[in-house]
Amino acid sequence: MKEEFLKKWQMGLQIYRPLIDNTSVSERRKAIKLSADVAMASLRKGTTCWSRALIQKTATEDNFLVRQMLSGIKAETLINKKLPKVMCHRKIVRRSKKILRRRQSRSAIEEVAAKARKLVKKKTQGLRNVVPGGEFMSNDVLLIQETLDYIVSLQTQVNVMRSIVDAAEAGSERTAYYLGKLKFAIEDG
Amino acid sequence: MSNRRSRQSSSATRISDDQIIDLVSKLRQFLPEIRERRRSDKVSASKVLQETCNYIRKLHREVDNISDRLSLLLDSVDEDSQEAAVIRNLLM
C-alpha cells in the first residue's frame, strides 16, 4: 500500500512540476497536501465512503488536479456522485426522545445509563466531524468501519510522507543512506 | 419503507456493545493507553471514541506539518544543487 501511495502521490506532484518553480510556498504546500490526499483516497478505488467524500472535497479545491490524478471515467463518477441523502434527522430523534422521557420515570441506574449514552452520542458526533463524509454516515456501524479504514490509510500517508521529508532534509551526503532505508521501508511494507 | 427508516434513525445514535468491543480491540494497536475497564462498556466507549478523534486529528496535524516542511525545502534548495536533484527524484 505504501508503494502505491507513493506512486500516486508522485504522479500528482508531477502535474505541478512545470509550475513548481514559479509558485509561492503556500501554493506549493497546498499542492503537496492535496495530491497526498487524493493519492490516499484513490487507493480505495471508490469502495469507501470516506475516500469518496475526500475526493469530492479535494475536487472543490482543485478540480483539475483530481481529474488528472484519477483515470477519466472514474474521475467523473467519483466527483459527481451524489452523496447519500440519508442523514441523521436529529430534530425528529430529539423530539421523539423528549416525548419518551416525559412518559418514563427514572431510577438512578437509568439516569447513569442515559448519561453514558448521551456521552457516547456526543463522542460519536465528534468522530463524524473528523472523518471525511462522516456527516452522511447515520449508521454507526458504518461510521466505525469507515473510521478504522481511514486511520489505516492516514497512517500509510503519514509514514510515507515522513520518510520522504526526513530523507530530503537529511542533506546530500547522507541522502544515499536514507534513500536506501526508504527503499527498504517501502518494500518491507 | 418509511417506518423502517424512522426506526433506523432513532436507533442510529446507539452503538452496540459488540461493536465497541470490536473497535476497542482494533484501536488497541494504535492507542496503548486504553485499558480494559471493568465498568460499563459505555463509559469506555466514549473514551475510545474520544481517543480515536484525538488520534485522527494528530495524524492530520502531522500531514500538515510535513507538507509545510516539504514546501519550504523545495523553496530553499538551490536550483542546481545535489539536494534539488535528490528531492526532484524523490518526489517527481
Contact B70 A32 (CB under 8 A): yes
Q: Which long-range contacts (CB under 8 A, 24 or more apart) does B33-40 make?
A: B40/A113, B40/A116
Contact B67 A164 (CB under 8 A): no
Q: Residue A189's pLDDT is what?
A: 62
pTM of the model: 0.71
Distance CA B27, CA B51 (A): 9
Q: Could you read off the pLDDT tens digit of each residue along chain A, which spans 189 residues?
A: 888 898 888 888 887 766 656 678 888 888 889 999 999 999 988 889 999 999 999 988 888 888 888 875 566 666 665 555 545 555 666 666 666 666 555 688 888 888 888 888 899 999 999 999 998 888 888 888 899 999 999 999 999 999 888 877 776 446 567 777 887 788 776
Residues of A in contact with B86 (CB under 8 A): 167-168, 172, 175, 179
pLDDT, greater one: B5 or B77: B77
Q: Residue B64's pLDDT is what?
A: 94
Distance CA A122, CA A114 (A): 12
Check pLDDT > 50 for residue B6. no
